[in-house]
Chain A
Amino acid sequence: MTSLMEFKEVDVHYGPIQALKKVSLTVSEGEIVTLIGANGAGKSTLLMSIFGQPRISSGEIIYRGEDISQKSSHYVASHGLAQSPEGRRIFPSMSVEENLLMGTIPIGMDHAEEDMQHMFELFPRLLERRNQRASTMSGGEQQMLAIARALMSRPKLLLLDEPSLGLAPIIVKQIFQILRDVASTGMTIFLVEQNANHALKLANRGYVMVNGEIRMTGTGDELLVNPEVREAYLGGH
């Protein structure tokens, strides 16, 4: 398998605080890779650093053979990387449809109608809310919208930051079922999660991050039965 995105010894600093320490990881084409870790471990920082926000202080982020670590956000976005970010960050005063259209910026409007229909099949709730202001929707619906918006750019690599955050267990289950459907189309997914149980069951491989460092790596199944992981992230049972 060829590597689609690779972090090579990446450091990130916020002033005097080091948020990422020599982080190396790989996501290959067609894979589902997850990064699990506690709150504040640096997971979101890692995802945002792909878009240069913040800029990494040393190391390389290789995407399809090119170091993108010093590129602008819009350059990265227009080369096949799409993110559903922490906190969803949908556009509150726009309708669901307009939010979806925002996802088409990198590829233009040619497939907009067709892709939007596809999103409505994937997330029927969004079809019901099509013309509603996004801010009036529930957390789960907003999360679905954030994922759908990312998919609208037909990404080569889908980056997801805690899609389960703050949602009821039943909604989390629905969202992971949809992610499974998306993955079955061959989409490469890099998933950052605190919900280790769901994430590791979905993923081919996983990394465990502690205080800005990669502590462990292995297949999803290996990590699921790893005593240390069970103790720290799966409530010890």
Chain B
Amino acid sequence: MDIVLQQLVNGLTLGSVYGLIAIGYTMVYGIIGMINFAHGDVYMVSAYITAIAIALLTFFGIESFPIIIIGTLFLTVAVTGAYGWVIERIAYRPLRNSSRLSVLISAIGMSLILQNYVQLSQGANQQGVPTLLSGALRFNVGDGFVQITYMKIFIIVASLIGMGVLTYIIQKTKLGRMCRATQQDRKMASILGINTDRIISIVFVIGATMAALAGVLITLDYGAFDFYVGFIIGIKAFTAAVLGGIGSLPGAMLGGLVLGLSEALFAGLISSDYKDVFSFSLLVLILIIRPSGLLGKPEVEKV
């Protein structure tokens, strides 16, 4: 019992982070119909920026946790957002009217460029950040106990806030309506006076900022990272996006939670060595049984 509860807590943490990164995949897919394979590496870049931001803030003698964390979040989200904008500008916009395959290859190229650029500039060794928030809550359950670190609580709360703010923007604001209009009918959106190129840029920036939020949270929790961390977590988040229904924003968040929870339960109850096998088997199964995902709409052939 305590194991199940413990893994549910772990799964919730993992799942909310998958959800954050999945948002970037799903929104970009929704608006220009491509899988941005460089998205996982945007997350990786944000891990490095997190470390740089913490180092910078500590260098200036700031020691209180709230200021460091807010400063780090702010810097990382801003710089990573800029990365998202630049990537779209140089790797995807010039290919706007090309075949999907060209864009896909460009995305894979962008992913390799980011990895190698970080490896060259930051070194191939594993890097780390100091623990900023320690301590945990403990609950006795039967004979055992469930432990929730403050950091995990912080991750869940921050992720939920991030998702909540984004959902509000997309559903209730003018910018959100413009994003949805561009997603549903780009040509009509442009006829109504929307600068659709700018909206696409904004969507890339939104995706990058959500990945940056995940990057800060995971890096603070886990401590260590290298230039290759974006790969596995990127594919996991992509799985989450497909699971929830690619193109659907609530789907990405739900898919992230479902994937995180089921992965954690599998790791805790069956085998932690095979948890990646489990996740990707799940991906294969969804693609076979319900390719449109949990909340996605089945593709309607237009005649």
Contact = CB atoms under 8 A, between A and B. Distances in A.
Q: Chain B contact residues: over half helix, strand or loop, or mixed? A: helix
B174 A53 contact: no
A92 B193 contact: no
A106 interface: yes
B96 to A, nearest CB: 13
Q: Chain A contact residues: over half helix, strand or loop, or mixed? A: loop
Contacts of A102: 177, 181, 189, 192
B143 interface: no
B289 interface: no
Interface stretch (A71-79, A172-180, A229-237): A71-79
23 contacts: A51-B191, A73-B190, A73-B191, A73-B193, A74-B193, A74-B196, A77-B192, A77-B193, A83-B191, A85-B188, A89-B187, A91-B180, A91-B188, A94-B180, A94-B181, A98-B177, A102-B181, A103-B192, A105-B178, A105-B192, A105-B193, A105-B194, A153-B192
Interface of A: 51, 53, 72-74, 77-78, 82-83, 85, 89, 91-94, 98, 101-103, 105-106, 109, 149, 153
B179 to A, nearest CB: 12
Contacts, number: 57
B190 A53 contact: yes
A117 B177 CA distance: 20
Interface size class on chain B is 10 to 19
Interface in B184-206: 184-185, 187-196
Interface in B90-120: none
Contact of B184 (A51, A85, A94, A109): A94
Interface string B19-54: 000000000000000000000000000000000000
A109 B173 CA distance: 11
Contacts of A53: 187, 190-191
